[in-house]
Structure 1
Amino acid sequence: MHDIRAIRENPEGFDAALTRRGLAPLSSGLLALDAARRGKIAEAETAQAEQNRASKEVGAAKARGDEAGFERLRALVAEKKADVARMQAEAAALDAQLRDRLMEIPNAPLDRVPEGRDEGDNVEIRRWGNPRDFDFAPVEHFEIAGVKPGMDFETAAKLSGSRFTLLRGGVARIHRALAQFMLDLHVGSHGLTETWAPVLVLPEMMYGTGQLPKFGEDSYETKDGYWLIPTSEVTLTNTVHGELLDHSSLPRRMVAHSQCFRSEAGSAGRDTAGMLRQHQFEKVEMVSITDAAGGEAEHARMTRCAEAVLEALELPYRTVVLCTGDMGFGARITHDLEVWLPGQDKYREISSVSYCGDFQARRMNARYRPEGGGKPEFVHTLNGSGLAVGRALIAVLENGQQADGSVLLPAALHPWLGGATRLGADGVLA
């Protein structure tokens, strides 16, 4: 959420940031609402002072036996009290209106984020690995002979409808092994703290990370008011919701493996084949909480943590910085990692690593005490997939596919598969 004080101080800069996002200027309307709110607060404070003075005079009039003055002043006190209550209610309504407006405005991009309208304007910053040369025509994951026995879309559709998958046997075990491998790598090599958290959260947690109010249709709400998390970014980031942290506790680096749920309301007709885009999926998510000075360096570090997973799995990828028109609502800058999928003959997103600055912290009221004292400051937050487990499964299967329908598995996974090195054409690990 944006700081209205910063908008007051530099409305032109605020509007310029929105323009880079492809949005119309908003500062004039926000500042008019803010002025009305502040004016109403001032009126309420003046009326409160008048009420206090009249209350003192009531006592004095009674003490000197001035019954007429006592009654007149008592009526004035009642009138002022009603005025104060009305003005405070009006100020609170204006404050809520301003907060709601600010809640719906996306974060300001860093100056170095490239300008653009959509994914076609994203900028590649590096590549790793070379796509494999096949001596046969590679197919998509769900068409590989050894995968078909373990990836059942028909039964999943019977159980839950479209965009669900039921995994069995060797494919299910590879999926589980990927999540375990990622967690152990992040904990053992990258120093992240493993965390297990709920997948049902209160609505204020969704507000805290920016899924509400603007993107409610993309998630699932239960009948009793809980929300299913679209990613454990929500739970991990909100662990500091409402907290005042000691600077010495930063940075906090966390990782969690969780089920995730998305309605995919805005993706009708996209990626309907296979398990690339699902309503229920698993992710290994990284979240960092830093001070104001450490955010950008932490973003580079988190990006490397995600890249290390792909490199260990021997999966070719490229890293791109998203342009202003493609980056997410809460981000100041985002790096996408796109893994090579030979079945599609293209790179596809497998991780987004975003630096949000203090945007989420203002919504959560999460602050820290600066080293050496001083006024508390808002923390800075980051999140990134490390990685999306289902998409990692797709990449491992497609890149390791063989002409006979089997799949060679990356060496990094062998210890998590009981030493198995291959998914046979019959769907059995060996």
Structure 2
Amino acid sequence: MLQLSFIRDNKETTLAGLRKKHFANAEAVVDQVLALDQQRRDAQKELDEVLAQSNAKAKEIGALMKSGQKEAAEAAKAETAVLKSRSKELDELLTQAEQQLQAVLVTIPNLPHNSVPEGRSADDNEVVLEHGEKPTLHADAQPHWELIKKYDGLGGSMIDFELGVKITGAGFPVYRGRGARLQRALINFFLDEALDAGYFEIQPPIVVNEDSGFATGQLPDKEGQMYLINEEKFYLIPTAEVPITNIYRDTIVPEGQLPIRNAGYTPCFRREAGSWGAHVRGLNRLHQFDKVELVRIEKPENSYAALEEMSLHVQMLLQKLELPYRVLRLCGGDMGFTSALTYDMEVWSAAQQRWLEVSSVSNFETYQANRLKLRSKVDGKMQLLHTLNGSALALPRILASILENNQTPEGIRIPSVLVPYCGFEQLS
């Protein structure tokens, strides 16, 4: 959530950032925030004055009674009753203004960093770099949803979508045999690499409450994309970012504990309402998928260096998996609600002949920390910290690309870095 003091002191900067994100009715919303803020401040000022007058009257009444001036004391009591009535009105007005102000503030997205390019959609994202050679496949090469039918050896697919439909529904595949072993190999590889890079492993709950969803910005923005458990008003997590970041909700972090670097593996759940077509076939888009997530908490002056470090970490994983990839800097119109700057990493799918997003690495600056009330005392002054997170990595499209890009007439070669984890060099 944007800091009210920033909006108040930097109206034009706020409007420029919201326009870059193509936030509808930016000027009207900002004007509403400032009007409610002024109403709240005026009510608070008058309330303070009324309470001061009321306290003064109470002392006056005591003195009058002590000196035997009963009539004057009764008159002062009548004035006190009027002041108490007004203070009650002002207190209600103040509460109402604060509630209305919060309701509007939570609808405003984070402001983009200065380096974020202009643009409305994914077509306007900036290609920062491209790495690796796109493989040339043999004539009979197939997409992963066909390949998976060949390599289980137990009379079924190594990833069974139809069985997932039977058990749950579309978008909930069953991984079998070597498909399951490849999943486990990728998870362990990603976690080991994170630990080697200095991250601390967390295994969090995969169900969160409303406060957690609000604190990291999923609620109210992405409410329709999350699975809700109605009885408890709990949500299945869309990413480990939510529970891991919420470890630090309502926390003052000692300066000596910064930076904080956590990594966690979880299954993730997304409704992906309205998704259909060839681009979501197979592993391209699922309702349940596995992911290793990186979460960092940094001093503001260090957060953008940390973002670059996280981007390099993800790129290193892709290089070790021998996958051609590119890095995109997302434009204002394609960024997430809470992000100030996001890099997307995409791998090349040789069989599908298109780029597949496998990671987003984002800096939220103080946006989440303001909701979390996540602070640190630096040089005697309390300040909000910066939060960051990134996929390192999401498994479905990584697995799809490994299967597609490494297929040969003899079988599918497994990247050498995964062989110690899965125990086989080739699917044949």
TM range (shorter): over 0.9
Relative distance call for 1:267 and 1:80 in structure 2 (3 A) is farther
Relative distance call for 1:395 and 1:6 in structure 2 (3 A) is same
Tell me which amino acid in the other structure corresponds to 1:197.
P
Tell me which amino acid in the other structure corresponds to 1:422.
Q
Question: What is the Cα deviation at residue 80 of structure 1?
Answer: 2.3
Contact 2:239 2:291 in 1 (8 A): yes
Question: What is the Cα deviation at residue 221 of structure 1?
Answer: 2.1
Match of 2:219?
Answer: 212
Q: How does 1:70-149 map to 2 (within 5 A)?
A: 70-144=73-147, 145-146=150-151, 149=157
Match of 2:418?
Answer: 413
Q: TM-score when scaled to structure 2?
A: 0.94
Contact 2:227 2:269 in 1 (8 A): yes
1:247 to 237, 249, 255: 255
Separation in structure 2 between the aligned mates of residue 268 and residue 101 of structure 1, nearest angstrom:
33
Match of 2:370?
Answer: 362
Separation in structure 2 between the aligned mates of residue 131 and residue 270 of structure 1, nearest angstrom:
21
1:349-406 Cα shifts (integer Å, max 9, x gaps) = 0000001111111111111121xx23111101111000002222112111122225x3
Tell me which amino acid in the other structure corresponds to 2:11.
P
Deviates more, 1:3-12 or 1:143-152: 143-152
Q: How does 1:25-424 map to 2 (within 5 A)?
A: 25=27, 26-144=29-147, 145-146=150-151, 149-188=157-196, 190-223=197-230, 224-269=232-277, 271-370=279-378, 373-404=379-410, 406-418=411-423, 420-424=424-428
Deviates more, 1:138-147 or 1:325-334: 138-147
1:200-253 Cα shifts (integer Å, max 9, x gaps) = 122111111111112211112212122211101111222221111122211111
Q: TM-score when scaled to structure 1?
A: 0.93
Alignment of 1:10 onto 2:7: no
Deviates more, 1:78-87 or 1:133-142: 78-87
Contact 2:138 2:408 in 1 (8 A): no
Contact 2:136 2:350 in 1 (8 A): no
Question: What is the Cα deviation at residue 85 of structure 1?
Answer: 2.5
Match of 1:428?
Answer: none
Question: What is the Cα deviation at residue 270 of structure 1?
Answer: 7.0
1:260-301 Cα shifts (integer Å, max 9, x gaps) = 111112535574421221111111000110001001100000
Separation in structure 2 between the aligned mates of residue 138 and residue 129 of structure 1, nearest angstrom:
20
Relative distance call for 1:409 and 1:20 in structure 2 (3 A) is same
Contact 1:369 1:375 in 2 (8 A): yes
Tell me which amino acid in the other structure corresponds to 2:344.
D
Tell me which amino acid in the other structure corresponds to 1:152.
D
Tell me which amino acid in the other structure corresponds to 1:3.
Q
Separation in structure 1 between the aligned mates of residue 177 and residue 385 of structure 2, nearest angstrom:
44
Q: State the SS of the aligned residue for 1:282.
A: strand
Contact 1:136 1:403 in 2 (8 A): no
Tell me which amino acid in the other structure corresponds to 1:325.
G
Separation in structure 2 between the aligned mates of residue 216 and residue 51 of structure 1, nearest angstrom:
46
Identity among equivalent positions (%) equals: 36
Question: What is the Cα deviation at residue 312 of structure 1?
Answer: 0.8
Contact 2:116 2:329 in 1 (8 A): yes
Alignment of 1:19 onto 2:22: no
Separation in structure 2 between the aligned mates of residue 399 and residue 272 of structure 1, nearest angstrom:
18
Question: What is the Cα deviation at residue 49 of structure 1?
Answer: 1.2
Q: State the SS of the aligned residue for 1:86.
A: helix
Tell me which amino acid in the other structure corresponds to 1:44.
L
Contact 2:370 2:384 in 1 (8 A): yes
Separation in structure 1 between the aligned mates of residue 354 and residue 30 of structure 2, nearest angstrom:
41
Deviates more, 1:66-75 or 1:225-234: 66-75
Tell me which amino acid in the other structure corresponds to 1:192.
Y
Contact 1:141 1:394 in 2 (8 A): yes
Separation in structure 1 between the aligned mates of residue 395 and residue 78 of structure 2, nearest angstrom:
70
Relative distance call for 1:383 and 1:359 in structure 2 (3 A) is same
Q: State the SS of the aligned residue for 2:336.
A: coil
1:81-102 Cα shifts (integer Å, max 9, x gaps) = 2322331222122112112211
Relative distance call for 1:130 and 1:87 in structure 2 (3 A) is same
Separation in structure 1 between the aligned mates of residue 226 and residue 328 of structure 2, nearest angstrom:
26
Runs of 4+ in 1 over 4 A off after TM superposition: none
**Gaps (5+ residues) in structure 1?**
425-430
Q: State the SS of the aligned residue for 1:135.
A: coil
Separation in structure 1 between the aligned mates of residue 139 and residue 52 of structure 2, nearest angstrom:
85
Q: State the SS of the aligned residue for 1:58.
A: helix
Separation in structure 2 between the aligned mates of residue 337 and residue 120 of structure 1, nearest angstrom:
15
Deviates more, 1:1-10 or 1:314-323: 1-10
Question: What is the Cα deviation at residue 79 of structure 1?
Answer: 3.4
Alignment length (residue pairs): 419
Tell me which amino acid in the other structure corresponds to 1:13.
T
